[in-house]
Structure 1
């Protein structure tokens, strides 16, 4: 029967009809104050105003922020209503003026604001409702902590209870919600810069509400609320347009609640799945009029409501169709159902609910929940073994069954042909139980056939030559079948055992190759050894021998079960096995009285460890299990050796890196200390030995050289101390307003005098006055200008400029030197790294740019290197970016 055509959901159409004639509402939602909601609303309003839309500011709360005041300036605004209250006049939004003006878009800041007493409505969101009813489009802002349903959660997280709240339905009825989001670290930096509150308020806020953990939690709330809103929009669109789901835009989980004992288990499992997917949960119960009375689904539905799920009950005769219809209408992606206990007829015909949904719900992920009242699971097929007497008891039963069939066919089938019936129990007994049972079946079948069906009947005598030939042929065929099929059965069982062992070894190899530490590896070896043998198992690794000893000491590292641990007598066998690299303990020729048996794990490099087994009394490991254990030991030894090699490689790389850093440090120390010390020593020696014979100018030059080299040495030691302070986080900038143009001019003049070179300053836009530490900024500029002069030709160009890029203030220092190779560009700010400049390594200690980066980051800025900057592949530009005040 064809399904009826899809029709739009009446509730969705009704919701759209309610929006007709009402003004639109757009909410700019943020996680906390200062994220930029008002700025984004004003920026969008300016764009719409430039496009010809009638945009009017109803009220914007600037809180004294210069940026907000600048953004609001130039936009048409309504005059504020003046309301007298307790001897003072309060300014509020003028609702009547807005209704009379009827702009195309009205901007109303802070939706959760409480109006002054005497206003028409106590809350601003109520003003918005009236404006929308009048057909006016409203844009507004709010923070997520002002939602009424989140006030308690916000109070628990932040310790601050929000007094002004907005009902959740206001946000739910909004036509558009735009999330304004920035990372918590950036928001905290804005607070420290004084861009949100005054300095005294900012310090209190940073110690309370504006802690990074609080902001991260509020940010998650905002993201989740907007995600829920988007999900609701998608679902509403699908319902209104009769679109069959699901759309995989987001996960939604539906629990199918029946009227049985497993219903509550299904609800709990669905809640767990929904939590793991961070998805909403719906609990659905389908009432079938033709179904027999059963248990009450009420407790399970009430449990779903307590767990935060939406519940729904529908009446339908076709259960799978109703489930799929509801799932598609709600854009569900996961269905959770109970396995249940359907009747044998439904299971045989494939009419169970799970089978029907498996065939029909191809667009959904189906989860089957086990029946909580079912008995323990049956053991796997490979673990079930028949008792030895079962084959001997079943063989006569098989022959008796064949005899019953022969008696029923007697008189219809010739007696010679009835012998063929007895070949069936012979083959079955041989394949199922073995050749001996097949031989017994052959003997019993011959006796029964001869006694009951061959003339003369009811005797074991044979009447004629024809019967003799038939009996002989039957006996030979029966014995041949018993032998060959019995052997075939044994071969099949052996092949299955080998295949199972091979499959387990392949899975174990994959597990050994998976990422993980050595502890996970040895635990996996112990678990697999225990699984193969069925005995307790452990893994012992070897410690290096103590001084004066030659035998490694085995130490327990993993066991299965966890409480399995070799005793002291068994550890003696383990030490012998480790020393001789041979098996020892129970079941071996060495120390067989020990309770444990130890087998070595060997590779070409030597012994990697021991696997210990504790067999029961008299138990011996044979056949496929013994071979599987040997294969396990070989694989485990290789895996342990690989893990040890990886550890050695990691240690080697760490040592090499340490050696490289030490060599760089010693080389830098040797060069940068030796050069100035040599100059100082030479000047002092010359003055001491020949001072009287030297002219005044020569003595002055030698003293100047000693003084200059002493200053150079002091600067280098200061660099070492600076980089240590930066690495330890001991830099605390003292912020004050800094004129960037003046700071750059001062540093450039000082560097130009020191090098006897000219530095070109490009005029910048004034005023550029961020809040920085003047001393740290001067040190950064001095280092960068010194580098630019050092690495450019004596007649080369060195320039500096300042400017603005968006909300950032920029200082750029550039030169026309050889530039920085591309492979070194990302490392020039690392300590002790010196870039290769064309055919030589750059001179210096390699600390200057590392110090600059640390100081710039301490002031809240960023630093980057660009090279080349000229068409001929030369030139370097260092760019500093600081947030504007």
Structure 2
């Protein structure tokens, strides 16, 4: 474990673009430190042939580089071990994002830097903004160039000091035009491509914004470390207090306009959740507010607090806000008079933070608070109201039948039980109605003097008031319990859904299509789509329930999966409480996409493994089969050069050279054809062709009587590439002639309803049925021991056949031998 106190410091010169002078600035700092007596050495500096930069190196000690050889080429890299052994106070390391030559101590130069710092040596390094990993996609979209060498942002973010090296785009282009950046032959191409003014301006803005975030993080760390709670207005940060009411969108848009007035401002929305856990706002409005904040480029936060005003101010102080946006209270004048308003309270507590009070349409309206609305269904509320009216009357009639002045306590208990029953059925409002009705009925019918509203005995008055208070309290508790029950059911449902998601993730059986289908069923949406970001926009990866959205803004609800994927839901907007489960779906979708990427990598690895096996087989085959004709040619040429041979011997040697050359050309053609097939470079030109045009050319070149072409003139046209088909048939015929033992090879054509079959029939030794499919694989010689073959002919023939839309197979020839069946699509045949 490295002691952080003895770890070397890291200073990064961050370039806004190539050529701004970050290496020059780094060398300038090194010279200043050396002049002050600091032990400074150069571990690795790349001057790129720039004279001014090279002049800065003079007088500084340079640690010799390590030499590495890779694929026959020699490279030089920083010698990390030599730098650590030299143990200077400061070392210069250029190009932090550089990837070392394979075989080096570390894969990346950033790892070399970490090793040097672990040895207690300070490091000064350079990196361009386009090499930061998080900005790689943005840089590619801006410049059209993908940076192959990147460094994780965390490496640069954790630097002790970051120095931005910047230059105006026009100044940098003039510097390039003067030849101070690139060589003369590269200047024009660079100025018209990567170094356009728009590209340089965008890169410069990326660098400034990235560094601003780093500075903001450093400021937050400093304020926390020094327990500074008061606001430091270093950056405009607007906090909007979202109530969840109808005015929320108005407040958010006003906050966004305020944030847009100053460059680099941030919009932050906060919603305070009551500590009792009961939702006091409409969840759908909170969901819409979240979407609106996200669309405006802000962030949405939910915090828990007993005092809403205090919670808003505490949050604003925590994020170092400069302004809080609060809406005018919707409460009536009486409540505002005695209880005050949230805006007034926030203004009192805000201290140095500005408070912006926003009027809205809802400020003049009052309505029933959401907290008074019952969570029970409308049917139960209606039934409760009916019972609150009917049951007290029925109970009164029953008690009047056996009225006794001394049974008032029993009457109170019975009416209290009735109130509890109504509360269980209909909730708070029907229970309150039953309690008030019971109070009136007992006062009129059972409290002396009866049939009047007068109560003679003060104890009876107290008893009735206690009855009402107990009834209200019990009804409130029952209503609160029903709310808790509804929340528990929802939480249990969420837990069950998340548990099912977890099990499916562990089994690894989910697909993107299954996720969007389950997401649609869980939340009752009309349709759900999974979108993927591309270079030109968005594309649909998976969708269910019909067309939903091809862009994020077309959906009703959306959630990010990762930087390049998005889930879009079309249908009823979700409650804010449902977004926890939606986030779980997003996490699972990310895992599924990762599984898909891993499977793709596995498939590519399998392809590479097969290609490696093919390459290994090729090397083994080439070592003999290509060397044989070359050796023959070399021997023949040596004999011809000697000049001591007679005409007969010379003719024989010339024939050997010609035969070997032909053999070598055939081998090389097959290798090239196989390479083109495996890389997908074969591009057939399909057209309607007659076999009379192709087959005679394919069978020509063989001695008379070795090949018999038996094709009628009435054979239908086929859809094919004439050149590729000729090569396939010539390959098959040539292979058959070599194995036919002198028996003529027959070339036939059979017409079938949808295809035309070209048959190449030989009477050779044939191929066992178990090996007839294997003989089409590359480098399969089977029992063929003839020299000059790599076993590629049939593999190339099948590949070219499939390229033109046909099939190629082998079957036994009746009476002995092998028949190659080449099936081609017939023109005019129905698909």
TM superposition score category, shorter chain reference: 0.3 to 0.5
TM-score between both structures, scaled by the size of structure 1: 0.38
